[in-house]
Amino acid sequence: MSPAIEIRSLKKTYKGGKKSQDKVALKGIDLEIPRGAFFGLLGPNGAGKSTLINIMAGLVIKSGGEARICGYDIEKDMRQARLSVGVVPQELVLDTFFTVRQALDIQAGYYGVPKARRHTQAIIDAMGLTDKADVNSRRLSGGMRRRLLVAKALVHNPPVLILDEPTAGVDVELRTQLWEYVKQLNKNGTTVLLTTHYLEEAQELCDTVAVINHGEVVACDKKTTLLKQFDSKQLVITPLAAMAAVPAALKRWSSEINAEGKLVISYKPSKDAIGDILNAVQAAGITIADLTTREADLEDIFLHLTYNKTAA
């Protein structure tokens, strides 16, 4: 079976004007997303994420390379490729003259979904829009408009769902409801591609993560594999008595006293045994009131791969 999304040497260059140079947005992207994956696409602003998504959605014409959705080439099999994907854009694009229900029925019509096969009410209920079903979309709050965008992407029951910053600027309740629904879709077989600046969301939801920067994929692997490769950990110690400075014996590691008065020791698990660190703390005369450890997370990996490398 073909992958849900297959991208080979995908390139995009935006032509400049008389006073501006051409802008290379994608430099030859290679990605393969298996069916049923919950895939995170991360990157700083201007890295090329939206360009990549817009090419797959048919909104931007690629400059080179290939892209397939469920085996369908986005140009040669345009109709089948677009029927295979639902896209939730970052921008709030709405049919402001229609109610929620009308907007969903019209969207289903665009995809040729017969009335007998439409599940408009089920989507409305799932998105928490039941009491807004017959309200004009221009009267919806920002959070409700975001829910409507997700609903529109689902009217044709696509096997691939692309979410471009779906929770930007929305409240905690909506985030919780949205992710519960999307997780259920993924559990039922829908492939999900998520871009987000909320890295804690990506860490919780995604099984595989790619980081894109300056139009290139700089990392792509299982989330657990990426985290294991980042050889960094922190020991956070709450001393019984306040500390004025880091003892000299602890400066062999990267150590500091944070704003809360806690001693934070950064170390490499592959080289440093935590027992040796604790022995050094005890030898320095520090009485420990409490301690915790902090593992590397996606934010650490993201900053490591993109720090001082963000696109202009």
What is the tens place of the pLDDT at every residue in 209-226? 999 999 999 999 998 888
Predicted structure pTM score: 0.81
What is the tens place of the pLDDT at every residue in 27-86? 999 999 999 999 999 999 889 999 999 999 999 999 999 999 999 999 999 999 999 999
Query: Tell me, what's the pLDDT at 165?
Result: 87
The secondary structure of 159-224 as a DSSP string is SEEEEESTTTT--HHHHHHHHHHHHHHHHTT-EEEEE-S-HHHHHHH-SEEEEEETTEEEEEEEHH
Sequence-separated (6 or more) residues with CB below 8 Å from residue 78: 58
Average pLDDT estimate for 129-140: 92
CATH class of the domain comprising 231-295: alpha beta
Reference 175, options 165, 185, 188; nearest CA is 165
Question: Within the chain, where are the H helices?
Answer: 49-56, 78-83, 100-110, 120-126, 142-153, 172-187, 199-205, 223-229, 274-283, 298-306
Q: What is the mean pLDDT of the chain?
A: 89
CATH class of the domain comprising 5-227: alpha beta
Sequence-separated (6 or more) residues with CB below 8 Å from residue 107: 152, 155
Reference 43, options 160, 192, 209, 224; nearest CA is 209
Query: Tell me, what's the pLDDT at 310?
Result: 44
Domains 5-227 and 231-295 share a fold: no
Compute the residue count for the chain.
312
What is the tens place of the pLDDT at every residue in 238-269? 998 888 889 888 888 989 999 889 999 988 88
- pLDDT-based confidence at residue 13 (cuts at 50, 70, 90): very high
Query: Tell me, what's the pLDDT at 311?
Result: 40
16: tokens are 């400049």
Average pLDDT estimate for 179-188: 92
**Could you state, in order of their start, the residue ranges of all structural domains in the chain?**
5-227, 231-295
